Structure 1
Amino acid sequence: MFGEESHLPYDRPPLTKDFLLGKVEEGQLTLSDVQSYGTVDILHHRATRIVAIDRGQRSIMTDRNEVFEYDKLLLATGSRPRRLPEIDDARAIYLRTLDDAVRLRSVLEPGRRIGIIGAGFVGLEVAAAARERGCEVCVIESAGTVLSRGLPPLVSNAIQRLHLSRGVEIVCGQTAKGIEWTRRGPINIELSHRVFPADAVVVGVGVIPNTELAAAAGLEVDNGIVVDCHLQTADPAIFAAGEVTKHPVGKAGTLLRLESWNVAHKQPLVAAACMTGRDLVYDEIPWLWSDQFGHNLQILGDIADSQDFLLRGHLDSEQWTLIALNSATEPTGVIALNSGRDILMMRRVLKNGGNLPLDVISGSRPVSAKVPVG
């Protein structure tokens, strides 16, 4: 097992949540210790980068010019933060690794001013953690609302209202026109009508899949490493897993690349089974979650193209469920806040292709994706 980081493999989701809040420490994030790997004959090469794959020789080369042969190879290269060329990388914080999170946590002190560029899940989770630690927070988003990628406006608006109610300043429809990196004073973020003086700038504007190694080896790459339902590439000896994969999703088998813990957790299990001769398929329903200000937001299934929904509860309350419907009024997905029971119910419905329970239908009201609803 090879990895570029010097740390043992660790759990990433807490980096934007409990780790920033000080609820967990570095040692609690580690998935297994060195001794555990040794007992099952796993040799972990830390701080080691693979620079080439020789498919003909079935070998890989490290950045130290070491060559290792393989019978089967798994690529779990993940992704890296998308960087803004106008922002000095040395001063800006791009949160991806444990080292990034350690650096960010060190500046989240009461009264500190934190500028966050990007209002996706990472940006908003950092904003929530920073506010809970007593920081002043300004989130800057080029789109018209937060969480604009893939979520209906009525949900985006509800999450935005949650942040505003907790004292987060949100500036949508703008980009940082310029950033002045002063030597001793604040980092001045220039907006359209004013300047936000920040003590730190966090950038969360998406990620880029690490496909270069696969592409150089001649594997099919299309915004991700293309794999089949067994997570196998076109080369029968090479598999891929995690958010770097572009894999079949749903009954139609649409190739998608999904950025979620579920993919990172479940795909390696299927890949390992298939690499050792078992015939398993990865057919998990897309699922992700986000924790912000003590609230748990979960998204299950396909909601991207839905215009009609059933709403249980009120979007300004602390618990609601929004069920996505297709043109035939069949459920295709769900977005829920603090409603784990409804997520479990919808998982059964989506997996088995059944109908919604009558009590769910009777306790819901129809809403449109484009109309803000209280």
Structure 2
Amino acid sequence: MRFDYDYVIVGGGMAADAAVRGIREVDPDGSVVVLGEDVDAPYERPPLSKDLWRGGEDDPRDPEDVFLGTADVPGVDVRTSTRVTSVDREARTVVANDDDVYGYRALLLATGGRPRELGSVPGAHVVYFRTMGDYHRLRSLVEPTGNGTPRRAVVVGGGFVGTELAAGLAMVGAKVTYLTPAEVVGAATYSPTLARRIEATFEEHGVEVVTRARAQRLEHTGADPVVVHVTVAGDPVTLAADVVVLGLGIEPNVELAVAAGLDVSEDDGGVVVGADLRTADPAVLAAGDVASYPDTLLGRRRVEHADHAQVSGRAAGRNMAHAARGEDLEPYEHTPFFWSDLFDLGYEAVGDLDASLDVVEDWAPGAEGETGVVYYVGTADSGPEGGLRGVLLWNVWDSTDAARALLRDLGAAGSVTGPDDLRGRIPTS
């Protein structure tokens, strides 16, 4: 069948929802359709690995609260379980579910990404964590046995999602083994002080931490649902688990863009857009996880954080409407922040958290590892040499704007000559 809309949004995540709202800020009447491959309508993604695991019996978190209500916006159709298979830029149409054709005046690619996988994985007790469906399935798999015995969970992945899920599963009573390739939990991301603090906190909460570990393959046996074959410091080890959770990062879904002849960045793998979030085709925009955009403070990058999805999605929606109405477009000038919660630990950050950069720690007096700011400074290898690249605010709140201001002031090569240029710039109390 053929359907025609003013605005077609491919993708059903947070960027898509924000784009709907951005369109409506400029054009209250234009027809909009959201074509999402997920079985669920748009929802907030961060609670899936954070808040939904934290509530106890006295303070439950309801998964229904994370849905964004996109279909409630007037004049907006939301179609779930809808896979777009091609884009015809000349005809200004997309094809979905093999034979439905959607015509558009402006098109947004908010296709997000898919989990990286560890080879071929059999069975229902392995979760590549990404969606609301993954959350519900994992939650059911870690429910205690009928006699109250905790389920055994192995969590694989040294990044944000892996650490958050290891903490979350422990908080709901699972017996957790956490595998990380680093020598200390988070060593590739955090300063040495923070990495040690995080690892100690995991161990205090009963998480078995296995460092220098790389999962090689998974298999099912008759007695245990999953066996994980691992190398630890080069030596083979096997672990049995009721469920294995993998948080290995995502691959951006750029196949539609590539097939449509749009440019993809060789550096970050995202769909290349300009400051107005348009691709080389003025009628096609990209936002969220899939977009490679020119950050005004840090240069071209692809960002996988919720703040970017929401703000870039809204900006893309506004620009879709501006373009359709023949109006000037707005530049996307936001450098997003992000956050993480691990048990009772928490932080906000802006920019690049990369421990291979030069790291400067600035702790509140008498509060090392408890309250402070960590600065990440470019090196000759990372470039620009001597420029500030990231700021982590550890138990320091309401300071992301101050962090952006510092990135603006000290981001150029040679701007940071030593630790004294940074310590004290953001108050730690």
TM-score, length of structure 1 as denominator length: 0.86
Q: In the alignment, does 2:373 pair up with 1:321?
A: yes
CA contact (8 A) 1:308 1:326 kept: no
The answer to which structure, 1 or 2, has the higher relative contact order (CA under 8 A, 6+ apart) is 2
2:337 and 2:400 in contact (8 A); partners too: no
Which residue is 1:296 aligned to? 346
The answer (yes or no) to whether the contact 2:373–2:391 under 8 Å persists in 1 is yes
1:224 corresponds, among 259, 265, 270, to 270
Superposition CA RMSD, Å: 2.8
1:243 counterpart SS class: helix
Contact 2:362-2:423 at 8 Å conserved across structures = no
Q: Give the equivalent residue in structure 1 for 2:304.
A: 259
Structure 1 CA distance for aligned equivalents of residues 251 and 422 of structure 2? 43
Residue 66 of structure 1 corresponds to 100
- Correspondence 1:360 to 2:424: yes
Distance 1:249 1:108 in 2: 40
Native 8 Å contact 2:182 2:211 kept in 1: yes
Q: Residue deviations 1:176-201, cap 9 Å, x none? A: 34534123435232444653321110
Q: Find the counterpart in structure 1 of residue 51 from structure 2.
A: 18
SS of 1:163's equivalent in the other structure is helix
Could you tell me how far apart the structure 1 residues matched to 2:375 and 2:90 are?
Answer: 49
Partner Cα distance (1:90, 1:204) in 2:
16
TM-score normalised to structure 2 length: 0.76
| Superimposed CA distance per residue, residues 222-268 of structure 1 (whole angstroms, 9 cap, x where no aligned partner) | 3111111111100010000001111112346x321111111111001
1:286–1:302 CA contact under 8 A, matched in 2: no
Amino acid at match of 2:46: P
- Distance in 2 (CA, whole Å) between partners of 1:114 and 1:269 is 38
The one of 167, 172, 177 aligned to 1:138: 177
- Picking from 83, 87, 90, the partner of 1:49 is 83
Q: Separation in 2 of the partners of 1:237 and 1:177? A: 44
Q: What is the aligned partner in structure 2 of residue 347 from structure 1?
A: 404
Matches within 5 A, 1:229-308: 229-251=275-297, 254-277=299-322, 278-304=328-354, 306-308=357-359
Identity %: 32
State the secondary structure of the residue aligned to 1:104.
helix
Give 1:106 deviation, angstroms. Answer: 1.2
DSSP 3-state at the match of 2:261: coil
Could you say which residue in structure 2 is the equivalent of 1:107?
141
Unmatched 5+ residue regions in structure 1?
Answer: 365-374
Deviation at 1:323, TM superposition (A): 2.6
Q: Equivalents in 1 of 2:247, 2:363: separation in Å? A: 31
Amino acid at match of 2:255: E
CA distance in 1, matches of 2:191, 2:296: 20
The answer on 1:3 being equivalent to 2:36 is yes
> Equivalences for 1:173-192 in 2 at 5 Å?
173-191=212-230, 192=235
Contact 2:312–2:332 (8 Å) recurs in 1: yes
Structure 1 residue matching 2:153: 3-state secondary structure: strand
Distance verdict in 2 for CA 1:186–1:52, change over 3 Å: closer
Q: Distance in 2 between matches of 1:190 and 1:6?
A: 32
What is aligned with 1:367?
none
Distance 1:138 1:316, change over 3 A: farther
Contact 1:307–1:325 (Cα < 8 Å) also in 2: yes
Equivalent AA in structure 1 for residue 404 of structure 2: R
> Which moved further from structure 2: 13-22 or 307-316?
307-316
The aligned amino acid for 1:235 is D
CA distance in 1, matches of 2:170, 2:308: 29
Query: Retained in 2: the 8 A contact 1:189–1:197?
Result: yes
The corresponding residue for 2:116 is 82
Equivalent pair of 2:53/2:171 in contact (CA under 8 Å)? no
Verify the 8 A CA contact 2:402 2:426 in the aligned structure 1: no
Cα distance change of structure 1 residues 33 and 135 upon mapping to structure 2, 3 Å threshold:
same
